[in-house]
Structure 1
Amino acid sequence: MAVEVSAGRPRIGAPGWALAAIVLAGLNLRPFLTGVGPLAPVIRASTGMDYRGMAWLTLLPMVLIGVGACLAPAMRRWLGERRAVLLALALVGIGSLLRLAWPGGTALIATAALCGLGTAAAQAALPAIVKRQFPARMAMVMGLYSAALMAGGALGAQLTPWIAGLSGSWHAGLAVWALPAWAGWLLAWRALPRDAAVASAALAGDVADANARAEAKANANASRPTTIPVLRLLGRPRTWLLMASFGVMNGGYASLIAWLAAYYQERGWSGPASGGLIAVMSVAQAVAALLLPTLAARSPDRRAWLALALALQAIGFAGLAGWPDLAPLAWAVIGGAGLGGCFSLYLVVALDHLPRPEDAAALGALMQGGGFLLAGCAPWLAAVLHDATGSFAAAWWYHLAAVVLVMLATTRFDPRRYLAAMPSRA
């Protein structure tokens, strides 16, 4: 059992509770994004926003997620990992709740920004918590965390239009996600260990033994994180390759959650039915995000599994672009599985590069930061392509070409060369 050294009352330190807090936090980081697409026609009619304006509801949060992730090492030093997660869930809860009380297009974009900042803080801190708390099961737990992200996206896409229809208000459909955000805050406050103040010890005798407490406190202070400077990481080409690959790959996810529902609504589908496509895609993402890292954990070389995930993405985008009415559910499932597996595998690959949790988390934060800055542009580019061609099919062709480029980049991720590509501190 993890024993927390603290002047106050002890908190839950059991790994099961910490894992539950990580999963519930992950579930809260996507509904505010995926719930918008199925309601796009209603929101456009109510606010007067066009497709390029609607693109900001995805673009701005992703850009802020990217900026926040780039600043993650400094943020973790200032706040600590646990407090960063608490702040993140509070921002998501506040941003979601404000969607009920603060109507209008500008307000919708502003609340998306709040939720985006919260997501940035959580995605920067949670991988470090995973690697610190579950070092022997890091790949499996990262897969579970990634699956929670995707499952949250599925819930957002499926339940938001249903709640909006039940309540008669699209504002209520979007604001309801404040409830699980605050539930996640309470669990994280209760279950996550205090930053740099947790020591694991097998206590055979009395827990209150003074010598054991003194030793635990000394170990905790000795393990206080000192991270590789960001500028040093940015000076390594491997960091930029990870950022570019992660960003181009996640651009496909950003475009799909923004426009897949609208694409099929233009083909005669209803809002709930088109939202169901996003939900099915997100469920497939969640399953693949959990399954592929677990399978990939058998070997330190993740490239074969990355190639499989990218091939699935290619099939999904080709189907959506060339044969959208042939098997829409199949395209959503296949493409979603590729996106979910790739997302979680990239998180694992970033953590694989460096042995220390703080350093690996800093690299992962930079990869997500630069990647989400790049991915955030994809929905806006898709809207431009739609305006130029009259269909989102052009955007799916673009993402198919992007997948091919990422496939080429993954050949560089040979674990035998990680030390040369990303040398640890001296």
Structure 2
Amino acid sequence: MSTDHISTTTRQSLLTLYWPMAVIAALAMTLRPLLTSTGPLLEEIRLTTGISLQAASLLVVLPMLCMGIFPLLLPWIGRRLSENAWITSGLFAIASASLWRLWLGSSAALIASALVGGTGIAIVQSMAPSIVKRWYTQRVPLAMGIYSAALMAGGGIAATLSPVVAQHYDSWQSGLSIWLLLPVIALLLWWLRPKEILESKTSKQSVNFFSNRRAWLLASYFGLANAGYACMIAFLPTYARGLGFSAENSGELIGIMTVFQVIGALGAPVFSSNRLDRRPWLFFAVGIQVAGFVGLMLLPASLLILWVAMIGCGLGACFSLTLTVALDHLSSPKLAGTLTAFVQGIGFIITAIIPYFAGFLREWSGSFQAVWLMLLITLVIMLIVTMKFAPESYAKTMNYS
């Protein structure tokens, strides 16, 4: 066998392994900039539009609700379009919402753009875990870790650079709309995805898990796991600015949180990949958040970066591990995808409620202490629930295999 032939075969193997991962990462990076770009610019947005803090929480709440509702409808509406058509339309919706933000000037239009973009995010996000499971059946923890890390990296980059772009163009609208670039790139990569990966129809995903108690437990756990992230991106920049941080510095805090989210999202699934019992790493992911929020309450100013880093690491690990645990419950990629759609559906509805309630707590108490305390309580509940995710219970708690 010639050296040229070996080299060609190696290149083809590497392309088969990594090109689909690049497509997955590109899809994931479109899923958070719409949410995270508004927080660091919220003071400027409020000055222009007059939007209240509680109404501003809708910029996160509405997309989260969309992320919850669409996956629950997928078994019924999914049959109307192919996977390719759904993903394409979802990316178009995200791009359209970003483009709209270049011209809008009212709070109503801004909230409406969150709804349009949130619908697109919901479509892409609900289908992504099934794609991961199908494309990387033997490498689910690694693939899910990269998906989660790319998702969080997109959010962190947007939070960090949005104030820079806004300052450069003297327009907060520019800081929000620049993220049109990500769904456009993702569309190109999706259309150029490897030919050997066949398009999946969602029409056969008729199984639902509404009557399954473990599915509800996983969904509730996922919802609480994301509540901290939703509250942090919604309120951390405002909280930091109250401590004397500038708009750019408050955005950088989200960037720092994201760096550690990426570390947690990549590290935890990889380190836990040699054993099916992922509970020790879940305990770590939740426990480090507990320590971070306690620090945020007791020593907020002096060690803020440390607490944000700890919370970010725990959030990243928790997100990827929770989805991985859900995928672990079923061997069939189709059924596992349907389960994760249910988990994300119910979970994001729970997640959406919490930052809205947090906004109410903040305005009622006049302090963010009540918000951090509420999140501490949810984390303690998660620590208790984590004990139930023993691998030997998976078969018993699922009605399907």
TM-score, structure 1 length as denominator? Answer: 0.88
Cross-structure match for 1:210? none
**Structure 1: unaligned runs, 5 residues or longer:** 1-12, 199-222
Cross-structure match for 1:139? 141
Cross-structure match for 2:16? 14
Cross-structure match for 1:220? none
**Alpha-carbon distance, 1:228 to partner:** 5.2
Between the aligned partners of 2:24 and 2:186, the Cα distance in structure 1 is: 9
Cross-structure match for 1:278? 254
Number of paired residues?
Answer: 387
Paired letter, 1:70 = L
Deviates more, 1:320-329 or 1:403-412: 320-329
Give runs of aligned pairs for residues 375-390 of structure 1, distance below 5 A: 375-390=351-366
1:406 has 2:382 as partner: yes
Paired letter, 2:190 = A
Paired letter, 2:207 = P
Paired letter, 2:16 = A
**Alpha-carbon distance, 1:87 to partner:** 1.7
Cross-structure match for 1:360? 336
CA contact (8 A) 2:289 2:314 kept: yes
Identity of aligned residues (%): 38
CA contact (8 A) 2:66 2:119 kept: yes
1:238 has 2:228 as partner: no
Indicate the SS of the match to 2:192: helix
Cross-structure match for 2:6? none
Cross-structure match for 1:28? 30
Between the aligned partners of 2:291 and 2:195, the Cα distance in structure 1 is: 43
1:168 has 2:170 as partner: yes
Between the aligned partners of 1:73 and 1:175, the Cα distance in structure 2 is: 33
In the TM superposition, what whole-angstrom CA distance separates every residue of 1:311-350 from its partner, at most 9, and x where no partner exists?
0111111111221012111011100000010000001001
Indicate the SS of the match to 2:139: helix
The one of 37, 40, 58 equivalent to 1:38 is: 40
Cross-structure match for 2:79? 77
**Distance change >3 Å, CA 193–CA 352, structure 1 → 2:** farther
Between the aligned partners of 1:197 and 1:41, the Cα distance in structure 2 is: 44
The one of 184, 187, 190 equivalent to 1:185 is: 187
Between the aligned partners of 2:119 and 2:194, the Cα distance in structure 1 is: 21
Paired letter, 2:314 = G
**Distance change >3 Å, CA 224–CA 23, structure 1 → 2:** closer
**Structure 2: unaligned runs, 5 residues or longer:** 1-14
1:229 has 2:207 as partner: yes
**Distance change >3 Å, CA 53–CA 192, structure 1 → 2:** farther
In the TM superposition, what whole-angstrom CA distance separates every residue of 1:357-405 from its partner, at most 9, and x where no partner exists?
1110111011111110010112211111111111112101110111000
CA contact (8 A) 2:79 2:202 kept: no
Give runs of aligned pairs for residues 197-236 of structure 1, distance below 5 A: 197=199, 226-227=204-205, 229-230=207-208, 233-236=209-212
**Alpha-carbon distance, 1:413 to partner:** 0.7
Indicate the SS of the match to 1:191: coil
**Alpha-carbon distance, 1:84 to partner:** 2.2
**Alpha-carbon distance, 1:352 to partner:** 0.6
**Alpha-carbon distance, 1:197 to partner:** 5.0
Paired letter, 2:306 = A
Between the aligned partners of 1:195 and 1:362, the Cα distance in structure 2 is: 19
User: Please, what is the CA RMSD of the aligned residues?
Assistant: 1.7
In the TM superposition, what whole-angstrom CA distance separates every residue of 1:209-265 from its partner, at most 9, and x where no partner exists?
xxxxxxxxxxxxxx99733521xx110110110111111121111000000010011
Cross-structure match for 1:396? 372
**Alpha-carbon distance, 1:193 to partner:** 5.0
1:328 has 2:307 as partner: no
Between the aligned partners of 1:195 and 1:229, the Cα distance in structure 2 is: 23
**Alpha-carbon distance, 1:150 to partner:** 0.6
Paired letter, 1:292 = A
